[in-house]
Structure 1
Amino acid sequence: MSAFGRAGAVRRGRDRKAQVLMPTPGRARFTGGEAPRVAVVGGGIAGIAAATALAERGVRVTLHERETSLGGRLAGWRTCLADGSEVTMSRGFHAFFRQYYNLRGLLRRTDPALTCLTPLPDYPLRHSGGLTDSFARVPRTPPWSALGFVALSPTFGWRDLASMDPRAALPLLDVRVPEVYGRFDGVRATDFLAGVRFPEAAHHLAFEVFSRSFFVDPRELSAAELLVMFHIYFLGSSEGLLFDVPGEPFPRALWEPLGGYLEKHGVDIRTGTPVDAVRPVGGDLEVESDGTRERHQAVVLALDTAGLRGIVARSPALGSAGWRDDVQGLRAAPPFLVSRLWLDRPVREDRAGFLGTSGFGGLDNVSVLDRWEGEAARWATRTGGSVVELHAYAVDPAAEPKRVQERLVDRLHEVYPETREARIVDARHEWRSDCPLFDVGGYHRRPSVRTPHPRVMVAGDLVRTRLPVALMERAATSGFLAANALLTDWGIRGQVLWTVPRAGRSRVLRALAGAAARR
């Protein structure tokens, strides 16, 4: 369904309360004379979004990516299995929720109907105690979504709802961004839940599964981030909790088409070329990469935590002392593991394409890739097997990797017992520790899009945007915001953006929450 906002801005979603963010008025693009040169450092979602918005308006963009392909944390690479099959490996499953308006807008550049995405019919959550929640039949529109969840959930009933502390729970009903960070960023997510008296089983299923999607133990997560997450996915949006996944591996479905689109718009894509430093030189910025130095009128730093810290450390003249200290204070979340197994037999036909898990000794979710990814399905059809992926977030850094990998396979056998008899044809284990940590009290030290230098912008999922966005949508939104900031300064109209409502949806509930906050 399509709807139109002011000035013809198109919203492709079902939520009529989604909000449009119109760019500053200006010219449509650079015409005549020389357009400015901009270096975008980082070829993930944020960098691609920034490069797209700039190039579409005539800016001369050079896109640097240290790896050999685009995609950042959603990149993919070829690998050969023990049976001789050539397949694509990646860092694993990612959910493309329907409220990811700006990410989806980016993908529509090359796929207007989003045929690259496949909807999954359910988002089941299973606890080791045997209870499973489902969102397939839960209404999408708040407050019916919450009431429907209570009515249908085996873990959260009316009695549990009555036992909660209503005053402590009211902030869930009116999450205002960015104000929520002023009230709750200094509170641990687990302490907030304890104050609400949220039922333990529902706590594990509904909140632990979500909080661990930030790659962090909920005891270290800011309560403000948890509240924003709850608002985005449950009480603040009528898009619901169901999501889509790419129907083919990330390179084929997403990045190869977008890379071609950028090149058609004149972007100079340089993969395998990390940037060493950025130096202000006169009114320009000098970008050093692979022993060469090039001048640009602006730079967008679209990097992960370690990448941003590294460039800032090697660029001593960049930014103010306070800003540099804040960047160096950024922390990455604990390590996580993605284990992909190619099995010699199928899992049961009724198994979900994706299953969130809690209480299974570190196993956070299980995906059966051949249910929805074309390449995996073709391998499974040809061999009679299946492709299963296991995720473990916030792993103890002191843990022995091989033991963690073995434990995940053991937990898979508990969740899907038929896999006990399966032979593992081959396996790939990807360990990473490069996601941002949204720790307690850290919000105001995270970088914003603008920096002390008027022509240096920062983008990525580590950036504070003052909008209710998270994960991949925060990356895409921040990339567009970085481009818009530069374009505004040059008198060029930027990208129209959309977001879920920036406050609670119900006037009555907002009033109740406001009254409770004033007491």
Structure 2
Amino acid sequence: MRDRKRVRFAAPAGAPRVPEPKRVAVVGGGIAGLTAATALAERGVTVELFEREPYWGGRVGGWTTKLPDGSTVGMSRGFHAFFRQYYNLRALLARADVELRPVTDYPLLDEHGHTDTFRGLPRTPPWNAFGFALRSSTFTLSGLRKVNMRAALSLVDVRVPESYEQLDTENAADFLARIRFPEAARHLAFDVFSRSFFASPQRLSAAELAVMFHLYFLGSAEGLLFDVPREPFHTLWTPVTDRLAALGARLHPATPVTAVEPGFAVHTADASYEVDGVVLALEIPALRELVAASPLGPPEWRDQIAAQETAPPFLVRRLWLDRPVRADRPPFLATGGLPPLDNISVLDRYDADAAAWAARSGGSVVELHAYAAADRETTGKELLARLHAIYPETQQATIVGDREEWRADCPLFAPGTYFRRPAVATPVPGLALAGDGVRADLPVALMERAATTGWLAANRLLAGWGTAGHPLTTVPVRGRFGPLRALARLR
């Protein structure tokens, strides 16, 4: 954590541990659930942690699969970047000594073959943005002259939640068109960000895009490079769950919760658990289903949960090839304007399991992502064609193993929905929500929003029992530059 302007929110005050025995059910074993469970268990709460899958980590979890050559290898739902401004997620990982390794660069490739990188850029805004623009062939002087600077000031005057009040009704595509960024620059500087939310710019809130740009670029001096786990995802969360067990938590993998009754009684297919509090840390489809099956909360809150939308499907295709890709290929390549491909990962460059397979076989492990995809079969074929065009050496490779993950369970941050998203606090005393689809009113996103809401959900329950919560850290909650903020408010 190098950014001296990062903001630390003090832990809510209270006793160091719960003054009398308390039991809480945390439903969902992804990042949000693991964080909430850790926060509660550290304060002496007995945690019952339920997860419907046989593995932990949710969308950042993994499992093993067997290839036709007899190899047992790791599989997951796709690549994830652990950015250095993910302070609250890293607080969870640090407790369990989970190791991350740096990715020194990730190029951005557009449809014209232009490549931009983040290697060697200054960390501190605005010099990082100036350096990127000056070095990039997509930000030409003539193009930059056309930019609507008054509209662009929204990107340097980000405030949460005020920016949502100003921009949430507009979609990201119209917002970027209003700013008049050059088209090629939009693909590289913004579309890549937009599609990280599993939605096209036409279906993403302009406010969400602005806050995301603040989090990763204009609001943070941590830089836009990131780290990745040394361990594959199917073992990544073991230190976290081992620590939870040592703190007295009871872990229930492969155990879906079927209903929650007020009071609280948590039901599974085989048992019921009487608890003092509940954290629902679920993906949007599972949250809708569980609330619909449970007599919890007033009708308006239940309707709010039922109305939450999911983003379009995404496809992850992982290939085990019989020969290596070229040595100069980066571990991670983002693409813009090359649908349906959004990125290519060469897993054996950083994943221990993939590296071991590549060393044994002499091959390589390559992963392709398509966000906001329309058709599974067509998308899979087009991804392979894009790989062959971008990395021609793969055309002659034999596919030793081929696995696909087609999912549609990420939250959709559509225009006009921010103030209709469910919050951590609920109208049911003792019940809290957590997850990346839950509103936090802080400049966080993706995995960091999941972790942040996990801490917040635990803090809310702990406060009700007079017990100290946990501190939070974020990037600055408003734009870093006072004169530019003042100028933006004169628009």
- Superposed pair shares fold, TM > 0.5: yes
Please give the per-residue CA displacement for 1:239-258, whole angstroms capped at 9, x wherever unaligned. Answer: 11100111121132x21111
Distance 1:138 1:153 in 2: 11
Residue identity opposite 2:218 in structure 1 = L
Partner residue of 1:7?
A: none
Deviation at 1:359, TM superposition (A): 2.1
2:239 is the counterpart of 1:257? yes
Distance 2:310 2:187 in 1: 24
2:285 to 288, 294, 306: 306
Partner residue of 1:319?
A: 297
Structure 1 unpaired stretches of 5+: 1-12
Residue identity opposite 2:352 in structure 1 = G
Please give the per-residue CA displacement for 1:417-464, whole angstroms capped at 9, x wherever unaligned. Answer: 111111111100111000000011111111000000121100000001
2:71 to 85, 99, 112: 85
2:13 is the counterpart of 1:25? yes
Partner residue of 2:399?
A: 424
Partner residue of 2:266?
A: 287
Within 5 Å, give how 1:438-517 maps onto structure 2.
438-516=413-491
Partner residue of 1:405?
A: 380
Is the contact between residue 142 and residue 238 of structure 1 (CA under 8 Å) also seen in structure 2? yes
Distance 1:232 1:404 in 2: 31
2:135 is the counterpart of 1:157? no
Partner residue of 2:35?
A: 49
Distance 1:432 1:273 in 2: 20
Residue identity opposite 2:341 in structure 1 = L
Is the contact between residue 64 and residue 234 of structure 2 (CA under 8 Å) also seen in structure 1? no
Determine helix, strand or coil for the equivalent of 2:74. Answer: strand
Is the contact between residue 12 and residue 470 of structure 2 (CA under 8 Å) also seen in structure 1? no
Structure 2 unpaired stretches of 5+: none
Partner residue of 2:92?
A: 106
Is the contact between residue 74 and residue 354 of structure 2 (CA under 8 Å) also seen in structure 1? no
Partner residue of 2:212?
A: 229
Residue identity opposite 1:67 in structure 2 = E
Identical residues among aligned pairs (%): 58
TM-score scaled by length of structure 2: 0.99
Determine helix, strand or coil for the equivalent of 2:334. Answer: strand
Partner residue of 2:47?
A: 61
Partner residue of 1:436?
A: 411
Residue identity opposite 1:23 in structure 2 = A
TM-score scaled by length of structure 1: 0.93
Count of residues in correspondence between the two structures: 491
Is the contact between residue 138 and residue 152 of structure 1 (CA under 8 Å) also seen in structure 2? no
Greater shift in the superposed pair: 159-168 or 239-248: 159-168
Distance 1:390 1:357 in 2: 11
2:307 to 319, 329, 332: 329
Distance 2:377 2:140 in 1: 40
2:112 is the counterpart of 1:129? yes
Please give the per-residue CA displacement for 1:15-50, whole angstroms capped at 9, x wherever unaligned. Answer: 00000011221111125xx42111000000000000
Distance 2:378 2:69 in 1: 25
Determine helix, strand or coil for the equivalent of 2:252. Answer: strand
Partner residue of 2:223?
A: 240
Distance 1:422 1:293 in 2: 52
Distance 1:121 1:429 in 2: 28
Partner residue of 1:269?
A: 251
Is the contact between residue 75 and residue 234 of structure 2 (CA under 8 Å) also seen in structure 1? no
Distance 1:108 1:361 in 2: 37
Is the contact between residue 150 and residue 158 of structure 1 (CA under 8 Å) also seen in structure 2? no
Distance 1:156 1:28 in 2: 53
Is the contact between residue 424 and residue 453 of structure 2 (CA under 8 Å) also seen in structure 1? yes
2:197 is the counterpart of 1:214? yes
Distance 1:465 1:35 in 2: 29
Distance 1:451 1:357 in 2: 40
2:155 is the counterpart of 1:176? no
Partner residue of 1:9?
A: none
Is the contact between residue 117 and residue 245 of structure 1 (CA under 8 Å) also seen in structure 2? yes
Residue identity opposite 1:473 in structure 2 = E
Is the contact between residue 18 and residue 466 of structure 2 (CA under 8 Å) also seen in structure 1? no
Deviation at 1:291, TM superposition (A): 3.9
Distance 2:228 2:442 in 1: 24
Determine helix, strand or coil for the equivalent of 1:307. Answer: helix
Deviation at 1:504, TM superposition (A): 0.4
2:169 is the counterpart of 1:194? no
Partner residue of 1:352?
A: 330
Distance 2:173 2:339 in 1: 19
Deviation at 1:404, TM superposition (A): 1.7
